[in-house]
Amino acid sequence: MTAAASDLVALAKPRITALVVFTTAIGLWLAPHGLRPLTVALTLVGTVLIVAAANVLNMYLERDSDALMARTMNRPLPAHRMEIGALPGAIPPLIGWTAATERLDLPGVLLFAVMFLWQVPHFLAITLFRKEEYARAGLVVQPNEPGGEREARANIVRYTVALVAVSLLFVPIGIARGAYLASALLLGGVFLGYAVAGLRQAAGRRWARNLFLLSLIYLPLLFGALLLDRRV
């Protein structure tokens, strides 16, 4: 499991979730009425979703206090490995795929991954060219931390590499073909090339603003190419 996927799972506190699901199953099993498979499935899946959602909310609400305790300071949010805002922004295409297919499978997860990974360079670019405004507002963003601007530029490259790699996976799983592959390689090459340019010392606010604008162009063109390739 990748580090990003591991962090996503950690947000749901899987051990607590598993315990709650287990005890729910005990109640189902001990009930005097016969077990109906659909009832069991819906009850257990619903329990997983409710408990996981509650745990994510708990992680968010306690992120500041978690950062002060050795037991919890390495959780994804207090360790600043993940921002909770990326999750709701990435979920809509997964919702659409799952609603249409009535199952949770790899293509939907890849759509989620593309959105999740795209949001990081998109948002970091904003924080780089508007870091003074964030500082005046008292909002903590990576570029305003010691050594944070250099690390933000490096994170932009890391997430863009991952984004381009994930965007190509629609081809081997049979969702897209050659036309999309060519488009994804071209768009990804331009986006990644401009992201790498930010590692140069001379890259400044103009580079960050242009990268932000480029991210707004990249995503709809990538999804547009995917839609056209599926329909042709």
Residues of the chain with pLDDT under 70: 1-5, 80-86, 231-232
User: Would you state the pLDDT for residue 213?
Assistant: 95
User: Would you state the pLDDT for residue 80?
Assistant: 67
* pTM, 2 dp: 0.67
**Domains delineated in the chain:** 1-80 (no CATH), 85-232 (1.20.120)
pLDDT tens column, 142-161: 777 777 788 888 999 999 99
User: Would you state the pLDDT for residue 231?
Assistant: 62
Provide the Cα torsion 92, 93, 95, 97; round to 10°.
170
Name 122's Cβ contacts closer than 8 Å, sequence gap at least 6: 212, 215, 216
pLDDT tens column, 169-197: 999 999 999 999 999 999 999 999 999 99
User: Would you state the pLDDT for residue 184?
Assistant: 97
DSSP state of 176: -
User: Would you state the pLDDT for residue 56?
Assistant: 85
Of 141, 116, 147, the residue nearest 128 (C-alpha): 141
- For residues 144 and 23, give the distance between their C-alpha atoms in angstroms, rounded to a whole number: 46
